[in-house]
Amino acid sequence: MTLDKIAALKRTRLFEELDENTLRALAERAFERRFQKDEVLFVAGEEARGLYVIVEGAVRAFRVSLDGREQVIHVERAGATIAEVPVFDDGAYPSTAAAEEFTTVLFIDKRDVQHLCLQHPKITLAALKVLAGRLRRCAELVEALSLREVGQRLARFLLAEARRSGAPTENGISINLSQTNQQIAARIGSVREVVSRAFTRLQHDGLIIIEGRKLSIPDEAALEKFVGQA
Amino acid sequence: MTLDKIAALKRTRLFEELDENTLRALAERAFERRFQKDEVLFVAGEEARGLYVIVEGAVRAFRVSLDGREQVIHVERAGATIAEVPVFDDGAYPSTAAAEEFTTVLFIDKRDVQHLCLQHPKITLAALKVLAGRLRRCAELVEALSLREVGQRLARFLLAEARRSGAPTENGISINLSQTNQQIAARIGSVREVVSRAFTRLQHDGLIIIEGRKLSIPDEAALEKFVGQA
DNA sequence: GACGGGAAATGACTTATGTCACACTCGGAC
DNA sequence: GTCCGAGTGTGACATAAGTCATTTCCCGTC
C-alpha cells in the first residue's frame, strides 16, 4: 500500500529529500507494476510517459542490433530510477528497458515529476547529480568499447561486481556471478563465446579463480593493473 | 569586455534565461581564455575547478589509450558548455578537453555556478536538459561502437555533419569536411586508414561523392538506410 | 540415481579491424 | 616554379573478435 510506496520513494536519490506530505501525495499518484525476468518495461523510440522507480529487482536499459545482439547501456537496481532522460527532456525513450530479474517498480507520470521539480528545486538538483553520474559511466563505457579489448572489459566488469556484491575471503574477494556469460557479453559489448574464453584466459593468467559460477579475485590490485594497461 | 561576455553567456542554453543583472554579475566573475588548436583545457582525472562556456571555436572531450589512440566523447561548439558533469557532481573531470580549432572560452568557477543554481532553479532545469541530451548522444555512441561497423559509423557521422553544416545543391547535400580522417577516426572509434577505406567504399557504393575535402550526399535517405541496417 | 535442458567450454574457421610501410597529392612558403 | 610537410590512399599482413558446430558440464526434476 501507500506506506510501502512512500518508503520506496524515500529510498531513491531523486526523492529522498522530500517531506512526508509531498511524498505521500506523490505515492498516491504512483502506481505499482511487476515484471517477470526479461519482461519489457518500454521500447526505445516510444513516446515516454513517465518515470520508473525500482522498488525491488533490477532493470537493464539496452539497444538491439538487427541481428539481435544486445548492448546494455546501464543497469539499475532497487532505489534507482529509470527513464529520467526522456522525462526531463520530453523526448522518446532512448533505450529499451527490461527486467533483469523479477522486478517491482513504481510508475510516475512525467508531468507529476515535472511539476515536482518546479516546486522542489532540490529534486532537480538531485536529478542533475544522477544524470551526471550516469554520464560518467557512459563515457567509461565508450572508452572501454573503443580503446580496450574484451579481456580488459571483462576484468573491469568483474571489479565492479566485486565492489557491488563481493565478499572478502582469505584468498581475496569472492563473487557469486548472478548473470550468464550471455548477459555479461551484452554488458561489456561482446558475445557469449568470447566472454567464455576471456574468463579462461584470466584464470590462466592467475588473475581470477573460477569455481563454477563463483569466482574469486586473489589480487585486486593485479586485476586493476591489467585493466589499466594497453 | 563585459558586454561581450554577457552576450556570450546569453547565447548558452544554461544561462539564456537569466536577467540582465544576474548576467552582468556572472560576466564580471567569468574570465576569458584563449586556446590554440589542440591546446588542452583540462585533463581527465584532474580536480574540476569550473565550467567552460565556449564563445568561439570548438572543444572536444576525449579519452586516450596507453598507445595514444583517442576516442572523442563529444564535441561542443560556440554557445555550448564543457565540464558540467564535474561541476554538478563535484568530482574530477571525466575526460580530457582540447580545442579543435582556435577557441575562446569563458571560465566560471564551479562555486559560482552552484550558487547560481540554488538561486535560479531555471538554470538547474536547463542543465538537466543539456545533460539529458548529452546522455542520449552518448548512448548512441555506445550503440554504434558496439553494434555497428565502421562504414555505418562513418555514414552516421557524415549525416550529422550534413545536418550541422551541409548546404543543399542540385545533386544532394554538400559538405566541406573541416576535419582530417584522423579526427574523424577519433570520433567514430577507428583509425585513419580504416576511415580512408570506408570513404572509398561509400563512394564506390554510390552513397557519397568525394571531391577532395568536399563531398556530397546525393541521396540522404539511401545513406540513412545504410546506417540503419545490419 | 537417471534424465533433460540450459548454459558453458572449446575447436575450427571467417572476417572486420588494426598495423606497417610506402607512394602520392595538394597547398602554402619561399 | 620548387620544395616541404601534412594529410591521404593503398597494398600486404597480423590479429582480435565473431560465427558455427559439437561436446561437456551442471543442476533441478522425476
| Pick from B101, B106, B227: nearest CA to B162 | B227
Cβ–Cβ gap B145/A142 under 8 Å: yes
User: Which residues have CB under 8 Å from A100's CB, separation 6+?
Assistant: A37, A57, A58, A59, A60, A75, A179, A183
Question: Coil, helix or strand for B173?
Answer: strand
SS3 content of chain B, % helix, strand, coil (to 5): 45, 25, 25
How many angstroms separate the CA atoms of B199 and B196, rounded? 5
Question: Is B193 within 7 A of strand C by CB distance?
Answer: yes
Question: Is A192 within 7 A of strand C by CB distance?
Answer: yes
Cα B196 to chain centroid, rounded: 22
Cβ–Cβ gap A71/B229 under 8 Å: no
Q: Is B82 left (phi over 0), alpha (psi -120 to 50) or beta?
A: beta
CB-neighbour burial class of residue B36 (10 A; exposed 0-12, middle 13-18, buried 19+): exposed
Per-residue model confidence (pLDDT) at position B1:
64
Q: Residue A210 is inside which H or E element, if any?
A: strand A209-211
- Where chain B has pLDDT below 50, the residues are 230
What cell does B15 get?
544561462
Three-state SS for A155-172 is: HHHHHHHHHHHCEEECCE
Question: Is A33 within 7 A of strand D by CB distance?
Answer: no
Cβ–Cβ gap B132/A84 under 8 Å: yes
Structural contact between residues B180 and B168, judged by C-beta atoms closer than 8 angstroms: no
- Rounded to an integer, the average pLDDT of A183-203 is 97
Cα dihedral value B209, B210, B211, B215, nearest 10: 80
**pLDDT, tens digit, for every residue of A88-119?**
999 999 999 999 999 999 999 999 999 999 99
Contacts of the segment A204-211: beta carbons below 8 A, 24+ positions apart: A207/A155, A208/A158, A209/A171, A209/A172
Residues of B in contact with A84 (CB under 8 A): 132
Give chain B's radius of gyration (CA, Å): 19
Torsion angles phi and psi, residue A46, rounded to 5: -65, 145
Q: Is the pLDDT of residue A189 over 50?
A: yes
Chain D footprint positions (protein CB, under 7 Å) = 7-12, 16-21, 26-27
How many angstroms separate the CA atoms of A54 and A99, rounded? 10
How many angstroms separate the CA atoms of B197 and B82, rounded? 33
Q: How much of chain A exceeds pLDDT 70, in percent?
A: 99
Contacts of the segment B23-28: beta carbons below 8 A, 24+ positions apart: B26/B108, B26/B112, B26/B116, B27/B2, B27/B106, B28/B2
Per-residue model confidence (pLDDT) at position B2:
77
Structural contact between residues A97 and A83, judged by C-beta atoms closer than 8 angstroms: yes
What is the CA B200 to C1' D11 distance in angstroms? 15
Minimum CA–CA partner of B228 in chain A: A66
Question: Is B178 within 7 A of strand D by CB distance?
Answer: no
Q: In this structure, how many other beta carbons lie within 10 angstroms of the beta carbon of residue B180?
A: 12
Nearest to B71 among A91, A129, A147 (CB): A147
What cell does A74 get?
546501464
Nucleotide nearest to A69 (CA to C1'): D18
Torsion angles phi and psi, residue B12, rounded to 5: -90, 155
Question: Is A180 within 7 A of strand C by CB distance?
Answer: yes
Q: Is the pLDDT of residue A24 over 90?
A: yes
How many angstroms separate the CA atoms of B216 and B176, rounded? 9
Q: How much of chain A exceeds pLDDT 90, in percent?
A: 95
**pLDDT, tens digit, for every residue of A53-67?**
999 999 999 999 999
Minimum CA–CA partner of A66 in chain B: B230
Q: Is the pLDDT of residue A230 over 80?
A: no
This prediction's pTM: 0.95
Q: Distance from B97 to chain A by nearest Cα, in Å?
A: 13
User: Which residues have CB under 8 Å from B190's CB, separation 6+?
Assistant: B150, B153, B198
Question: Is B137 within 7 A of strand C by CB distance?
Answer: no
Question: Coil, helix or strand for B190?
Answer: coil
Cβ–Cβ gap A124/B129 under 8 Å: no
